[in-house]
Amino acid sequence: MDEKTLIAKRVALELMDGDLCNLGIGLPTLVARYVPAGRNVFFQSENGIVGMSGPVAGADNPDLTDAGGSPISALPGAASFDSVLSFGLIRGGHLDVTVLGGLQVDEEGHLANWMVPGKMVPGMGGAMDLVTGARRVIVAMQHSAKGESKIVKRCTLPLTSVRRVDLIVTDLAVIEPTDAGLVLKETAPGVTVEQVLANTGCELILSPDLRPMPLEG
């Protein structure tokens, strides 16, 4: 199993029956494939639909796309709406969980994921609204990039929100930001605690319930 699949599978276990869930572009999109059997999860695309599903070959519709403009499909019971209602769901506390990629997460659980000054300024899109408004924010990302840990003492990149994220799932570990700091809760298959610590740019508190990362619900 590659690292992205591992992360997506682990994140999918966090989705509960009946949840309204928004997946960011890139890695988080994979999560939809691994929802545990028996859980009916409603996926929102912030451009204006609840009940989205993967594209159906030969049935692309130019009026039915995801937030990146790529074709999607919709399940029975889907509902479409405009951008203010879409973000009303996100900002009004109606979104149970959002899964987003990250550039950095720091010791306080702050996420930076929308720009690298001087290099890449895509814009925040809906990320600031999602992190500020969702009931639960899960960051799904590689633990390190180009040899540097993405989990740091203090974000050097511009923050997406000052709201503390709820869970960080990486290819090495599951980490929960708390009042006391970042708590290491799970290690990925074949990964030791020492490896996680060595690849993390700030202190981690070891959970008394530290366990191997489960990948099936």
Contacts to another protein by CB under 8 A: 17-18, 20, 40, 42, 44-51, 61-69, 72, 74, 76-94, 120-129, 132-133, 158-162
Report the Cα 95 to chain-centroid distance in Å: 13
Beta bridge partners of 168: 139, 175
CB of 216 to another protein, least distance (A): 22
Is residue 89 within 8 A of residue 51, CB to CB? The reply is no
Task: List the alpha helices (DSSP H) in 115-163.
Answer: 127-133
Structural element, H or E, at residue 112: strand 111-112
How far is 71 from 62, CA to CA, in rounded Å? 7
What are the structure tokens assigned to 210, written together?
């530290």
Is 186 a catalytic site residue? no
Based on CB atoms, which residue is closest to another protein, 85 or 215?
A: 85
Give 1 or 75: the residue with its C-beta nearer to another protein.
75
Nearest residue (CB) to another protein, 123 versus 208: 123
Q: Which is nearer to another protein, 93 or 189 (CB)?
A: 93
CA proximity to 128, closest of 104, 162, 152, 153: 162
Choose, from 46, 107, 108, 186, the residue flagged as catalytic. Answer: 46
CA 169 to the chain's CA centroid:
8
* Smallest gap from residue 157 Cβ to another protein (A): 10
Q: What's the closest the beta carbon of residue 167 comes to another protein, in angstroms?
A: 21
Q: How far is the CB of 175 from another protein (least distance, A)?
A: 22
The residues that are catalytic are: 46
